[in-house]
Amino acid sequence: MIVIGTFQTRLDADLARIALEAADIPAVVIGVGVGMEGGALGVRLLVPDDRVEEARKVLHDVQEAPSSTLAEGSPWLDGNAP
């Protein structure tokens, strides 16, 4: 498994995981949010080694979708997500 993104909150990481799983790409979220004790590393999103490029494309497409409901300040919109 390869880390393809680091997020400040578990919610943002889970949204990315859900998008990947909807595209039949297995994904795992590990870690705690930056605001939590021990969360300095953030929440990481991992996918299988052989699905990295496909996963990045899916996440890019989700970010660019006009119907996206991502909140202002989301890491998806400020360039911190994959």
Tell me the C-alpha distance between 55 and 9, whole Å: 19
Helix/strand number for the chain, H first, E second: 2, 3
User: Is residue 9 within 8 Å of 31, Cβ to Cβ?
Assistant: no
What digits encode the pLDDT tens for the residues 43-78? 899 999 999 999 999 998 887 766 544 545 555 544
The full set of domain ranges for the chain reads 2-64
**6: confidence class by pLDDT, cuts 50, 70, 90:** confident
User: Is residue 18 within 8 Å of 37, Cβ to Cβ?
Assistant: no
- CATH class of the 2-64 domain in this structure: alpha beta
**81: confidence class by pLDDT, cuts 50, 70, 90:** low
32-43 average pLDDT score: 66
Question: Euclidean distance between the first and final Cα of the chain, in Å?
Answer: 15
What is the model's pLDDT at position 55?
A: 95
Q: How far is CA 49 from CA 24, 38, 53, 80, in A?
A: 15, 27, 9, 21
What is the model's pLDDT at position 54?
A: 96
What is the model's pLDDT at position 35?
A: 65
